[in-house]
Structures are given as structure tokens and as C-alpha cells.
Amino acid sequence: MTSDNVNNGRRRFLIGATSAVGVAGTVGVAVPFLAAWQPSAKARAAGAPVKYNISKLEPGAMVTVEWRRQPIYIVRRTDEALDLLKKIPKNDLKDADSENLDQQPDYARNDTRASNPEYLILKGVCTHLGCAPKFRPEVAPADLGNEWVGGFFCACHGSRFDLAGRVYSGAPAGANLPVPPHRFEGDAVIIGEDPEAAS
């Protein structure tokens, strides 16, 4: 056996071994790299639908849940509140007929902005600068005036919304409070799913 044969055999062995180590190293780097591009379980959960049992929500009360890191207001309106809502003159509101479809799904494009008039589901984020409006269900409080029939008041810059989340004319906010996609299932509301998702 000549030294050339030994060197060629050694060369082939070293090339093969180096290639195998290189492939293993590439796979070892690629797997975590590609895994980093996948959303984490926390990120997936942040966009997942949220289910809330509304059976214990008292008439006239509001609860806040979180969906996609935003506050979602769930209000159980009383018959009195729904009657007062009908008495607000449409010219007192910027978008009384909810024509801006970016602010709600089509099934909430009505006077109550809800698929079930008893329950109002809104994103609790003012459409002016993103503050959280306060739920003010009382009628004619001293600080809001005799014309106030209940709704939401944003203390940051004074925007007012009725109990359907419609913004009053003259408020800094330019649009109604958004209605997120939602559907009802028995005693629960599922935020983040349209009714068609159940079909």
C-alpha cells in the first residue's frame, strides 16, 4: 500500500466526517432558529377566543374581560336602559346608525349594536387616544348633566358614549366604541368568534 493510497483514504474519511459534523451542526442551529419563528403558546393564547359565563351577571352590571390584551366590556342592560337608549335623538350622535362597519360586525349594526339586545359587548378603548372609558350607568348625575341617560365617559378628554357605545356629537372621539366578534353559547359569550363559527 503506497502513501498516496493511505492519504486518499484518510482524506475521504476526514471529508466524510467533517461533512457529517457540518450537517449535524446545521440541523442543530436550524431547528431552534425555525422554532423561534413560530408563535409561542402565550402569543397563541393572547389571540384565542375568550369564553365568559354571563349567567351570574346582574342586570345593570358590567364586567371586564381581556381578549387580545384589550379590555372587553360586557354589560347586561336593563329594560329601562334599553328604553332610554331609544329616546336619544339621532342627531346627538356622530354615527347613530353604525354605518362605520370597521367598528362592529354586521350583526351588531342596529340601534343596540348587539346580536342580543340585553348584552352589550364592546372593546373598552376610547377611539380618541385609547384611554379606558368609565361605565356610568346612572341617569342625570351632577357631573354629567340632566341629559345623561347612562353610558361611558372617558375622563381623559371628555368623550361620551351611550349605552350602545355610540359616540356623542362634539366629543373628541371620532368613532363608536368597537364591537368585537362574539357569539352566544348557552350561558356563555365567546369573544373572538363570529356566530358563523358555530355552524
Quick: pLDDT tens for 76-114.
999 999 999 999 999 999 999 888 777 788 888 888 999
Which cell numbers in the block locate residue 100? 362605520
Q: State CA 178 to chain mean position distance.
A: 9
Q: Report the pLDDT value the prediction gives residue 88, as an integer from 0 to 100.
A: 94
**Across residues 42-46, what is the average pLDDT?**
56
Q: Which cell is 70 given?
A: 384589550
Which pLDDT value is given to residue 35?
58
126 has pLDDT over 60: yes
Task: Judge whether residue 41 has pLDDT over 60.
Answer: no
The residue behind cell 353559547 is 185
Alpha carbon separation from 154 to 91, 95, 117 (Å, rounded): 21, 18, 23
Mean pLDDT of the chain: 86
Stretch 5-22: mean pLDDT: 74
pLDDT at 198 over 60: no
What confidence category does residue 42 fall into, taking pLDDT thresholds of 50, 70 and 90? Answer: low
Cα separation, 72 vs 178, whole angstroms: 10
Strand order in the sheet with 134-136: 134-136, 151-154, 159-162
Residues 73, 124 contacting (CB under 8 angstroms): yes
Q: What is the pTM of this model?
A: 0.75
Distance CA 178, CA 123 (A): 5
